Amino acid sequence: MKRLTPFLALLSGCATLSSARPLAPGEHEVGVTIGGPVLLFGGAPVPLPNAVVQGRSGVAELGGRPLDIDYGVNATAAAFYIAQGHLGVSHLLLDQNGAAPALAFTNRFWFGLDIPHSDQLEGPPHALFIDQLEVNASWDLDGQLLHVGLAQYLDVNNPALTLTPSLGAAFDPAPASADGVRLHVETRWYGLTQQREIDIVRFVGGGQGMLGFSFGISGAFGHKEGS
């Protein structure tokens, strides 16, 4: 099979809709995020154009607080003959209390696998399996959401400490309505605790990890009046 391990590693730096505020049962959000690690092309920083089509759905309450699932596929990866997607679960641990932020925990599983095609070499396909553990603190500021987080991406085939801090926001053009369009921006420093081992391209961020940036748009629906 064609060797795509470097691309699998690059495409694993995908962005998702924020899980900082899990959805209540019956609530849903669907959207797309574009971005990833920032590469240098001709001296200019350009985010890797990962396009992830995804959704979130509230499924239950645990301890009186919402628990949701998220799911999605990487449309960009298909151009490199890679099947990649994710499935995760998030739970709200603490509600926001004034200036004290809400806290949420996420466990998300990523997978990537070479797709058989005409341009093949002998050998088994390459696969990538990553478990993402993340804690997010968030503040709802008059309907606009600011969130900071810390994630650990655990490569099942090559476990290591890959702490990844993040900062992002979700903007609601019509905060008076619980449903509607949301705009998302986020920056992540992927694997800040690791020295990069991929030298075929140049990244922003020096030798430690990879700086990433993403933009997203989503639609929320299913909220009950007063929620």
Residue 184 forms part of a structural domain:
yes
Q: What is the pLDDT of residues 21-65, one digit of tens each?
A: 999 999 999 999 998 877 766 666 666 778 999 999 999 999 999
Q: CATH number of the domain that 199 lies in?
A: 2.40.160
In a domain? residue 226: no
Amino acid at 81: Y
Domain-located, residue 35: yes
Note the pLDDT tens digit of each residue in 210-224. 788 899 999 999 987
**26 and 58 Cβ atoms separated by less than 8 Å:** yes
Q: What distance separates the 2 farthest-apart alpha carbons in the chain?
A: 60
Residue 227 lies in a domain: no
List all residues 6 or more positions away from 70 whose beta carbon is below 8 Å from its beta carbon: 16, 17, 19, 54, 55, 56, 57, 86, 87, 88, 89, 90, 108
- Asked whether residue 208 is domain-assigned, the answer is yes
Range of the domain at 215: 5-221
Per-residue pLDDT, 86: 94
How many domains does the structure of the chain reveal?
Answer: 1
Residues sharing a CB contact under 8 Å with residue 141, sequence separation 6 or more, in sequence order: none
Q: What is the pLDDT of residue 150?
A: 97
User: Quick check: 58 and 175 in contact, CB under 8 A?
Assistant: no
Q: What percent of the chain lies above the pLDDT cut of 90?
A: 52
120 falls within a domain? yes
Residue 36 lies inside a defined structural domain of this protein:
yes
pLDDT, one tens digit per residue, over 69-127 is: 999 999 988 877 788 899 999 999 999 999 999 999 999 999 888 777 656 555 566 77
Domain-located, residue 216: yes
Spatial separation of the C-alpha atoms in residues 37 and 116, rounded to whole Å: 26
- Mean model confidence pLDDT for the chain: 84
| Structure token pair of residue 46 | 């350009």
What's 79's DSSP letter?
A: G
Residue 71 is encoded by which pair of tokens? 């799911």
Q: What is the pLDDT of residues 150-190, one digit of tens each?
A: 999 888 877 888 889 999 999 999 998 889 999 999 999 88
